């Protein structure tokens, strides 16, 4: 199976990551098919650069993202493009309301 995952780079205690497409059987820092992005968790805010066109190509071809890469794809909006929605799910207020409580709409005017 083909996976979209992170490949660690950088010196000891100074990690940066490449977002790569790789066979799931290859080691974390081993062979990969294509490099499609970059992630730097040490910058403030963390830097995420993913080539949307290539990521969408691989997702449509059946590549499965790892959990960390899935969070990045959702943050950049690429996952919403892949699923066919424009707005991220975090903007929905109904999903944020706790169970058992009713959302009350007020009119301001």
Alpha-carbon gap, residue 73 to 56, rounded angstroms: 10
Sign of CA dihedral 58, 62, 63, 64: positive
The pLDDT confidence band at residue 22, using thresholds 50, 70 and 90, is: very high
Q: Which of 52, 60, 72 is nearest to 6 (CA)?
A: 72
pLDDT in tens, 48-87: 999 999 999 999 999 999 999 999 999 999 999 998 865 4
| Percent of the chain predicted with pLDDT > 90 | 65
Sign of CA dihedral 75, 81, 83, 86: positive
Go through the domains of the chain in sequence order and give each one's CATH number. 2-85 (3.30.1320.10)
């Amino acid at each position: 199976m083909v996976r979209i995952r992170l490949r660690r780079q950088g010196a000891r205690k100074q990690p940066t990551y490449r977002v790569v497409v790789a066979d799931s059987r290859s080691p974390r820092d081993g062979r990969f098919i294509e490099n499609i992005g970059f992630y730097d968790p040490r910058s403030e805010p963390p830097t995420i650069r993913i080539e949307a066109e290539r990521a969408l190509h691989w997702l449509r071809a059946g590549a499965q993202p790892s959990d960390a890469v899935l969070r990045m794809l959702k943050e950049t909006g690429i996952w919403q493009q892949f699923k066919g929605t424009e707005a991220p799910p975090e903007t929905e207020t109904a999903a944020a309301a706790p169970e058992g409580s009713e959302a009350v709409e007020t009119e301001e005017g």
